[in-house]
Structure formats: structure tokens, C-alpha cells
Amino acid sequence: MNECYNKLDSKIADFIKASEEANAKLIAHVNSIKADVLSIEGAYFKSECRKLLDPKHIMTQEEFDTITIEHGAYNGLGGNHEGDMLYELVKEKQKK
């Protein structure tokens, strides 16, 4: 009976190890995709902020709502700093 349990323990340990390796590969793949999407989304988001910050542009509430949603997506992907700074400037412009 002990031999049976030992084999079962060994198979479980092998499964756990394989599962952990697969999980690590999946996390690395997701992080790579996330970085790529952030690159695209970040460029788009910053471009849209700059358009809204153009002194000649009169920002609508709809545009502000959209850029707020975009800011959430940008942060959700791990973006920060320059994009956050631009968004703060957009918020200040909207208050005026």
C-alpha cells in the first residue's frame, strides 16, 4: 500500500511542477502582451491628451469622459508618469 501512495505522491509532485512551469510561461507571455498593448495604448492615449490640450481645441464633456476611460485603461496596463501628467493637465483644462 505504501508503494501505491509513494507513486501517487510522485505523480502529484510531477503534476504540480509541470503546472507551475506552465503557469510561469503563461505569466511571462501575458506580461509580454501587456507590455506590447501598453506601448500601443500609451502612444494613443498620450496623443489624444495632446490633442485635447491644444489651446485652440474646446474640449467636450464626451471627450473628457472618453479620455478618463482611456486613462483607466492606460493605468491598468501599468502606464504612469508621462501619461498621468498629461491627464492631470487635461483635467485642469476641463475645470476651466
User: What digits encode the pLDDT tens for the residues 5-55?
Assistant: 888 888 999 999 999 999 999 999 999 999 999 999 999 999 999 999 999
What's residue 5's pLDDT? Answer: 81
In sequence order, the 6+-apart residues with CB closer than 8 A to the CB of 52 are: 59, 63, 64, 67, 90, 93
Pairwise CA distance, residues 77 & 57, whole Å? 28
Q: What residue ranges do the domains of the chain occupy? A: 2-95
Q: Are 90 and 53 in contact (CB under 8 A)?
A: yes
Task: Read off the pTM.
Answer: 0.77
